[in-house]
Amino acid sequence: MEDRLQHPYHMYDEIMLQPEYLKRLFLSSKFKNHGEILTVLKNSSRVFLVGCGTSYNAALSSFSFSQMIFKRDNKFNAIPARELMSPNYDLNSNDTIIAFSHSGDTKATFDCLKLANDKSCNTILITGDTVSKCAGISDFVLTYGYKEDKSLAHTITYSLSSFLMLTIMGKLARKMGFIETSDMIHSASIELPSLVGSILKQRNEIRKIAKKMESNFYLVGGSESTLSTAAETALKFGEVHYTPTTFMDVEQVFHGPLVMCDDHTGIIVVNSNNNLDARLDELFKATKNIGCKTLLVTTEKSNIKNSDYMFQLPYCHEILVPLVYMIPLQLMSYYISVNNGLNPDHIRRDQTPYKKAREAYE
């Protein structure tokens, strides 16, 4: 793989490729063995979505989809791969494990699938490459059509794996008799590539916001369908420009974490729910008193006025929020990295101390 030394890095190219590959995935959504897979999911008592790092955040976004689709009938839950190995979950043959892994070789995910097999669970792998360690021990292997990330930031594969899971859930909804919900997901999915493309056209605005929001510490807040977006944003900020970043439900900021913020803190709130506007206004008023920089990523219908900066996204159905709202924050993490003279593709794996650290646990 060609190593790039300046903008545009591979991370940038893969962010920009997303509309094309999302469209390809939508047009090829009749995946192999799909009838058998849907029957397994329908008949399962519990379905666990597992992964590590960005793959776990894709599991979180998929859990958000499941909450919106199945509501009281939701049998899905997102659990870190290593956590699911606890005996407290008492895995059995009525359970299905859906594992997310870009490479298919992630150690904890492999170990989780191995345990699932020992417990006679059904296993499904969501991945880029059908030939891998995890693929070799999974009952079903589903690929999202992008074999190998050129950048270790895993931006495009986060979006594709999440979208593939939304597609599966839409088909499962139909099989379970939720016809209107399934039709809604199909209609929304048609719009997704163009929505992502329209946001990418605003990259110069995002680049300017990134420059203005540079800080020594970031706190990212989300709620409901944007909590997975907050989680993935925090991970991307840490990976590609190494700035300490945490995330949480936005209400929790009021209950302790605000005291660790100061005039070197950037607070980013990702919000698609206009019902929270009044509470977010209070948050931004509070943070002004301690000098934080603030950014609101929200719908174009929002009436909030107190944030320092705002990026308004085109309206989309709530089911697409975990996907659409991540796009400007992928770009923002990229631009902060480049502005600081860093290479966002390597996530420090080109540096000897971090290579040795990785060797210690792989």
Cα–Cα nearest to 253, from 226, 287, 277, 225: 287
The DSSP bridge partners found for residue 310 are: 296
- CATH architecture of the domain 203-339 equals 3-Layer(aba) Sandwich (3.40)
**Local structure of 292: helix, strand or coil:** coil
What does the DSSP 8-state code read for residue 202? Answer: T
The DSSP bridge partners found for residue 122 are: 96
Mean pLDDT across the chain: 95
Query: What does the pLDDT read at residue 120?
Result: 98
- Residue 32: CB partners within 8 Å, gap ≥ 6? 142
Q: Are 19 and 194 in contact (CB under 8 A)?
A: yes
Under the banding of pLDDT at 50, 70 and 90, the label for residue 30 is: low
CA distances 99 to 87, 169, 284, Å, are 18, 15, 38
Whether the bond between 19 and the residue before it is cis, its omega within 30 degrees of 0, is no
- Residue 252: CB partners within 8 Å, gap ≥ 6? 221
Mean pLDDT over 34-61 rounds to 97
Query: What does the pLDDT read at residue 1?
Result: 60
- CA-derived radius of gyration, the chain: 20
- Residue 72: CB partners within 8 Å, gap ≥ 6? none
Region(s) of the chain under CATH 3.40.50.10490:
10-200, 203-339
Q: Which pLDDT tens digit goes with each residue over 279-296?
A: 999 999 999 999 999 999
For 95, phi and psi rounded to 5 degrees?
A: -100, 150
Angle among Cα 268, 269, 271 to the nearest 5 degrees reads 155
As assigned by CATH, the class of the 10-200 domain is alpha beta
pTM: 0.96
Taking each helix axis from N to C end, the angle separating 155-175 and 34-43, rounded to the nearest 10 degrees, works out to: 70
What is the SS3 assignment for 180-198? HHHHHHHHHHHHHHHHHHH
